[in-house]
């Protein structure tokens, strides 16, 4: 059977028509040596293959509102339509502009290119349907909250990297979210039978695109099914590479934390994340996280011991006098568990429970519930 009879092979031949394979190795890699003008003048074997992955830079679309926090503050669906309609308009214009270059393709590539162009308006129609879906009150609220929690997670990630910028979508990410709104919000919609594949090199923005869909689905489910009715598995993510799993788990967990902060006004609505590993107790693997539970007593005892010290108290100042410099991680910052401060990490504002009532503190050692740490 001819490889060019296969749809995927023909699409790949079109997409990579400017990428040439000059040699194929058997049991060894090959390298092509190109001169600055492009032609290959030599090929050679290589024991360690390498390849340069080009960075995908998003297009600039100044007429489209891409800032997450601005989208989260939109007052109604009409405002959302005004802010996002240029994305659909520009996409339809781009589709129309692709018709002219078809004449430059070879005869074998033109039919496949025409078929892909014929499919593009279907994606545009789905984006339009997503914009119209925002007329539903629950869908619009879920869309706004999705932007808010995605912005919160992005700011947390950027703060760790010391990046100062307003969180915003890449155009394809926002289009991907809108493209799936109708299918996610209507269980009987035809889009439920469609699988959308994002194909980008590393760093292209795939993770934020599907995490945006995950956030929207999680929020919409709780808006439409309050209380225990919203419980259960909503999103399933599967990874096969250990390092990739750690990275994706961290980013997904950041989103769940952002959702948790957002739902503080509704204590009955909860969000969570579960990590399932194939090897439940193998040291040196993700499965080793399970065995870490056996050391919870040690961690709890250490946490209670550190709780005795208050960084807002000149008596303890967040560390012991004999602690090395690297252990003095609070450096007299405001205490995170004291009624005497205006801001706190506790979502209840520390109005009901003081740190002194939990652990023996330096100033009140006899008032604590945990008088004898485990």
Report the pLDDT averaged over residues 112-124: 93
Sign of CA dihedral 156, 158, 164, 168: negative
pLDDT of 331 above 70: no
pLDDT of 177 above 70: yes
Confidence at residue 337, expressed as pLDDT on a 0 to 100 scale: 47
| Residue bearing the bigger pLDDT, 33 or 307 | 33
Confidence at residue 64, expressed as pLDDT on a 0 to 100 scale: 92
pLDDT of 62 above 80: yes
pLDDT of 94 above 50: yes
Q: Indicate the SS3 state at residue 299.
A: helix
Confidence at residue 322, expressed as pLDDT on a 0 to 100 scale: 61
CB 213 within 8 Å of CB 143: no
Band the pLDDT of 141: cuts 50, 70, 90: very high
Q: Tens digit of pLDDT for each residue in 246-290?
A: 778 888 888 888 888 887 766 666 778 777 666 655 555 565 666
Proportion of the chain above pLDDT 70, given as a percent: 72
| Residue bearing the bigger pLDDT, 147 or 295 | 147
Confidence at residue 267, expressed as pLDDT on a 0 to 100 scale: 66
Confidence at residue 69, expressed as pLDDT on a 0 to 100 scale: 93
d(CA 75, CA 96): 33
Cα distances (Å, whole numbers) of residue 189 to 86, 131, 181, 184 = 25, 15, 11, 8
User: Could you tell me which of 145, 164, 146, 147 has the C-alpha nearest to residue 155?
Assistant: 164
Task: For the beta carbon of residue 125, count every other beta carbon within 10 angstroms.
Answer: 14
| Residue bearing the bigger pLDDT, 188 or 304 | 188
| Residue bearing the bigger pLDDT, 197 or 285 | 197
Proportion of the chain above pLDDT 90, given as a percent: 31
CB 360 within 8 Å of CB 370: yes
| Residue bearing the bigger pLDDT, 39 or 88 | 88
Confidence at residue 316, expressed as pLDDT on a 0 to 100 scale: 47
Confidence at residue 315, expressed as pLDDT on a 0 to 100 scale: 42
Confidence at residue 150, expressed as pLDDT on a 0 to 100 scale: 93
Q: Indicate the SS3 state at residue 329.
A: coil
Report the pLDDT averaged over residues 168-179: 94
Q: What is the dihedral of CA 12, 16, 21, 22, to 10 degrees?
A: 140
pLDDT of 6 above 90: no
d(CA 234, CA 247): 20
What is the distance between the terminal CA atoms of the chain, rounded to a whole angstrom? 70
Band the pLDDT of 308: cuts 50, 70, 90: low
User: Which range is least confidently modeled, 64-73, 191-200, 231-240, 345-354?
Assistant: 345-354
CB 43 within 8 Å of CB 23: yes
Confidence at residue 72, expressed as pLDDT on a 0 to 100 scale: 94
Work out the angle between the directed axes of helices 137-160 and 206-224 (0-180°, nearest 10).
Answer: 140
Confidence at residue 336, expressed as pLDDT on a 0 to 100 scale: 47
pLDDT of 157 above 60: yes
Average pLDDT, whole number, for the chain? 79
pLDDT of 115 above 90: yes
Confidence at residue 48, expressed as pLDDT on a 0 to 100 scale: 84
Q: Tens digit of pLDDT for each residue in 222-241?
A: 888 887 777 888 888 887 66
User: Which range is least confidently modeled, 24-28, 35-39, 110-114?
Assistant: 35-39
């Amino acid at each position: 059977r001819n490889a060019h009879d296969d749809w995927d092979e023909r699409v790949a031949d079109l997409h990579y028509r400017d990428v040439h394979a000059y040699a194929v190795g058997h049991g060894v890699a090959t390298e092509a040596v190109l001169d600055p003008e492009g032609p290959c003048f030599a090929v050679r074997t290589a024991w360690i293959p390498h390849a340069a992955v080009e960075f995908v830079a998003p297009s600039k679309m100044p007429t489209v509102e891409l800032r997450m926090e601005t989208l989260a503050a939109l007052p109604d669906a009409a405002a959302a339509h005004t802010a996002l309609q240029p994305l659909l308009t520009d996409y339809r214009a781009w589709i129309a502009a692709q018709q002219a270059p078809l004449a430059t393709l070879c005869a074998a590539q033109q039919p496949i290119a025409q078929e892909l162009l014929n499919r593009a308006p279907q994606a545009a129609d789905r984006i339009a349907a997503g914009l119209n879906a925002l007329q539903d009150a629950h869908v619009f609220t879920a869309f706004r909250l999705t932007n808010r929690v995605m912005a919160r997670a992005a700011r947390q990630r950027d703060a760790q990297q010391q990046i100062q910028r307003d969180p915003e979508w890449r155009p394809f990410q926002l289009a991907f979210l809108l493209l799936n709104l109708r299918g996610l919000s209507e269980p009987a919609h035809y889009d439920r039978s469609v699988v959308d594949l994002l194909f980008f090199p590393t760093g292209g923005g795939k993770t934020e695109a599907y995490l945006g869909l995950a956030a929207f689905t999680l929020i919409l489910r709780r808006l439409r099914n309050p209380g225990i009715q919203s419980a259960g598995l909503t999103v399933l993510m599967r990874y096969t590479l250990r390092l990739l799993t750690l990275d994706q788990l961290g980013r997904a967990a950041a989103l769940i934390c952002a959702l948790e902060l957002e739902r503080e006004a509704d204590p009955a609505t909860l969000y969570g994340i579960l990590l399932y590993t194939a090897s439940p107790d193998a040291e040196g693997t993700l499965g080793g996280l399970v065995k870490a539970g056996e050391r919870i007593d040690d961690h709890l005892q250490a946490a209670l011991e550190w709780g005795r010290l208050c960084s807002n108290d000149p008596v303890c100042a967040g560390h012991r006098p004999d602690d090395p410099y690297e252990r003095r991680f609070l450096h007299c910052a405001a205490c995170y568990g004291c009624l005497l401060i205006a801001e706190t990490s506790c979502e209840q504002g520390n109005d009901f429970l003081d740190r002194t009532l939990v652990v023996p503190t330096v100033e009140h050692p006899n008032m604590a519930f945990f008088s004898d740490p485990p």
